[in-house]
Structure 1
Amino acid sequence: MSGGPRPARLAPADVGRTALAGLRARAGRAVLSALGVALGIAAMTAVIGISASGQEDLLRRLDRLGTNLLTAGPGETLFGEQARLPRAAPGMAGRIEGVTSVAATGAVDATVRRTTAIPEEVTHGIAVQAATAGLPGTLRVRTETGRALDGANARYPGAVLGAEAARRLGVGRPGAQVRIGGRDFAVLGVLAPAELAPEIDRSVLVGWAAAERYLGFDGHPTTVYARAADGAVPDVRDALARTADPRHPEQVRVSRPSDALEAKAAAAGAFTGLLLGLGAVALLVGGVGVANTMVISVLERRREIGLRRSLGATRGQVRAQFLTESLLLSGFGGAAGTVLGAAVTAGFALVRGWPPVVPGWALGGAFAATLLVGAAAGLYPAMRAARSSPAEALATA
Structure 2
Amino acid sequence: MSDARRWFDLSSPFRMKRGGELVGARLAYETWGELNAARDNAILILTGLSPSAHAASSDEDPSPGWWEEMLGPGKHIDTDRWFVICANTLGSCKGSTGPADVNPVTGEPYRLDFPELTLEDAANASFELVRGLGIDLLACLLGNSMGGMTALAYLAQHPGSARAHASISTAAQAQPFAIAIRSLQRESIRLDPNWQQGRYDDAHYPEAGMSIARKLGVITYRSAMEWVGRFARIRLDSDQRDEEPFAVEFQIESYLAGHARRFVRSFDPNSYLYLSRASDWFDIGEHAGGNVDNALKRLGVERALVIGVETDILFPLPQQEQIADGLRAGGAEVDFVALDSPQGHDAFLVDIPRFGAAIARFLAAL
TM-score norm. by structure 1 comes to 0.21
More helix by share: 1
| Structure label with greater radius of gyration | 1
TM-score norm. by structure 2 comes to 0.22
More RCO (CA 8 Å, sep 6+): 1
